[in-house]
Amino acid sequence: DGGITQSPKYLFRKEGQNVTLSCEQNLNHDAMYWYRQDPGQGLRLIYYSQIVNDFQKGDIAEGYSVSREKKESFPLTVTSAQKNPTAFYLCASGDFGNTIYFGEGSWLTVV
Amino acid sequence: GEDVEQSLFLSVREGDSSVINCTYTDSSSTYLYWYKQEPGAGLQLLTYIFSNMDMKQDQRLTVLLNKKDKHLSLRIADTQTGDSAIYFCAEKMDSSYKLIFGSGTRLLVRP
């Protein structure tokens, strides 16, 4: 099936740990995105990438890092510098036709 | 500047029409999107419209764009209980990959 796959669906992080969320797409899209959603709130952009080996900071990039070594993959690392990482993380991808699709999301909880 | 605003909550009776409103501020050529989010899930792309269009219809969904007032609306005809969800309006400039979201409107459909 074509689409965007995020894993894991649920992840628990201990204080001081780095964790990585996976995002893979087989839609042949150039652009990929990471958003954070807090309960009852909208989406805030963390990072986005328009092309392989290039990415830009969004509005809340501090404490996060990304890589784009392959067109289909855009992993997000939540570092220990992110002081309040508990949230719902959404990955998306889009093309020049301006359709942008989302994955099913990953829940990250600090324990 | 970039800002997208939505009302927070809408309640309708099953079978009635729902109208969800959104205002945006960017005056550049832009794409405007409507997404639906069910509890604990990712965002589902419902429809989108380019800023040179006034209206777009897709089955029960009608999007109206008032460019002068920078006002976008989503009308859902014959609203069903399965339409209960959060609806997000989003804006993307034609020259950019960055997608800006409103805070979402929670639609509750009463039997």
- Does residue B1 carry a pLDDT above 60? no
Q: What is the pLDDT of residues B60-105, one digit of tens each?
A: 999 999 988 999 999 999 999 999 999 999 998 767 777 889 999 9
What pLDDT was estimated at residue B95? Answer: 72
Q: Which of B41, B88, B98 sits opposite A48 (nearest CB)?
A: B98
Question: Cβ–Cβ of B43/A58 closer than 8 Å?
Answer: no
Please compute the mean of the pLDDT values over residues A99-111 and round it to a whole number: 92
- Does residue B110 carry a pLDDT above 70? yes
Nearest CA in chain B to A4: B42
What pLDDT was estimated at residue A85? Answer: 92
Report the mean per-residue pLDDT for chain A: 92
B103 near A CB under 8 A: yes
Count CB atoms within 10 A of the CB of residue B69: 8
Q: What is the DSSP letter of A73?
A: B
- Does residue A97 carry a pLDDT above 70? no
Question: Using CB atoms and an 8 Å cut-off, which of residues 16-75 of chain B contact chain A?
Answer: 31, 33, 35, 40-45, 48, 50
A60 near B CB under 8 A: no
What pLDDT was estimated at residue B26? Answer: 75
Q: What is the pLDDT of residues A80-96, one digit of tens each?
A: 888 899 999 999 999 86
- Does residue B52 carry a pLDDT above 90? no
Question: Cβ–Cβ of B43/A94 closer than 8 Å?
Answer: no
Residues of chain B in contact with residue A101, where contact means CB-CB under 8 angstroms, are 45
Report the mean per-residue pLDDT for chain B: 91
Question: Cβ–Cβ of A99/B97 closer than 8 Å?
Answer: no
DSSP annotation string for B40-104? TS-EEEEEEEETT-SEEEETTEEEEEETTTTEEEEEESS--GGG-EEEEEEEEETT---EEE---
Contacts with A47 (C-beta within 8 Å, 6 or more apart), sequence order? A33, A34, A55, A56, A57, A58, A61, A64, A66, A76
What pLDDT was estimated at residue A40? Answer: 77
pLDDT band at residue A23 using 50, 70 and 90 as cut-offs:
very high
What pLDDT was estimated at residue B46? Answer: 95
What pLDDT was estimated at residue B72? Answer: 94
Please compute the mean of the pLDDT values over residues B21-39 and round it to a whole number: 87
Question: Cβ–Cβ of B45/A101 closer than 8 Å?
Answer: yes
Cα A90–A96–A100 angle (5° rounding)?
25
Interface test with B, best of A102, A106, A108 (most B CBs within 10 A): A102
What pLDDT was estimated at residue A7? Answer: 96
Distances (CA, A) of A34 to A45, A91, A101, B67: 6, 5, 12, 29
- Does residue A42 carry a pLDDT above 90? no
- Does residue B2 carry a pLDDT above 90? no
pLDDT band at residue B30 using 50, 70 and 90 as cut-offs:
confident
Q: Which of B41, B99, B103 sits opposite A104 (nearest CB)?
A: B41
Q: Which of B40, B99, B104 sits opposite A100 (nearest CB)?
A: B99
Question: Cβ–Cβ of B45/A90 closer than 8 Å?
Answer: no
What pLDDT was estimated at residue A1? Answer: 55
What pLDDT was estimated at residue A70? Answer: 97
A109 neighbors A9 (Cβ within 8 angstroms): no
